[in-house]
Structure 1
Amino acid sequence: MKIAVVWMWSGIKNAGAAVANVFVRLVSVLHTALAAIATFFREITLRDVWNGFVAFLHTLVVDGPKKIWAWMCKFEEVMVRAFRALWGCTGEIIYILLRLIVEVFIYVPKKVAVILWSFCLSIGKGFEEALIWINPKRC
């Protein structure tokens, strides 16, 4: 139970830090823009405002999701540790069996998606060939 609670707490902490960082960057951009306007762009240029906006977008689009994704990637490790702590070696075997069941249920839809995608590509190539047959100079 402790392993799962520690994992959840680290996720909540990372998500909170990511959201707080986004708000800090947003306030920073607004402050830079207002300071530039207040000084009539003497000390702070539009380039500084743009750099602040880019830093805000980078935090919003890259850093936040990266922290959340890193936390989500630890789920499997946490599950293995929790099963091992609860049931020892039997817990690891149970985890492996559950993982195999999940993989079997995921395998079939993945292959169906590959087949449908190949089918759509084939139809697209056939349509392209028909257009070339109608107008050979199309290439």
Structure 2
Amino acid sequence: MTTASPKTVRAELADALDASRIARETAERELHRSIALRSRAAEALERTARRPGLDESERARLRAEYAAADHVVAERRAVFEKRQEFERAASVVARAFEAEATSASPLAAALLQLVGSKRGGTARHGALASGRTAPAARVRSPRPRTA
């Protein structure tokens, strides 16, 4: 397995951070759009609540539209949260690499090796091709998560 240079890993991490930021921003825009559509469906349903003589089939259609819009909001919120979490993780890895890149840290070595193996064509070389996995890098004292 080849080992990548710290410069290569920094570039890969920067690309990952950019891609994760763009994905999160896109998911956030889609979430906001779906929330707006759900709000419009709710307003349409509420406008018909006290209207006399409204056909019940029309109310059922409006309720179905609201339920569908609410389902879309839930799906897009889940996508947004996943992308947001991935962006946070990529940021943590990038900061940890920067902090450890100059030392003989297992994390830095693992990232260098991982990026080197990806650059070599496939992610499965040597021991990985035989089904064994590379040892995981352990972070001794992770920083506490904050909201």
Q: TM-score range by the shorter chain?
A: 0.3 to 0.5
Higher normalized contact order (CA 8 Å, seq sep 6+, divided by chain length):
2
Asked which structure has the greater CA Rg, the reply is 1
Relative to its length, the structure with more helix (as a share) is 1
TM-score, L = length of structure 2: 0.45
Q: TM-score, normalised by structure 1?
A: 0.47
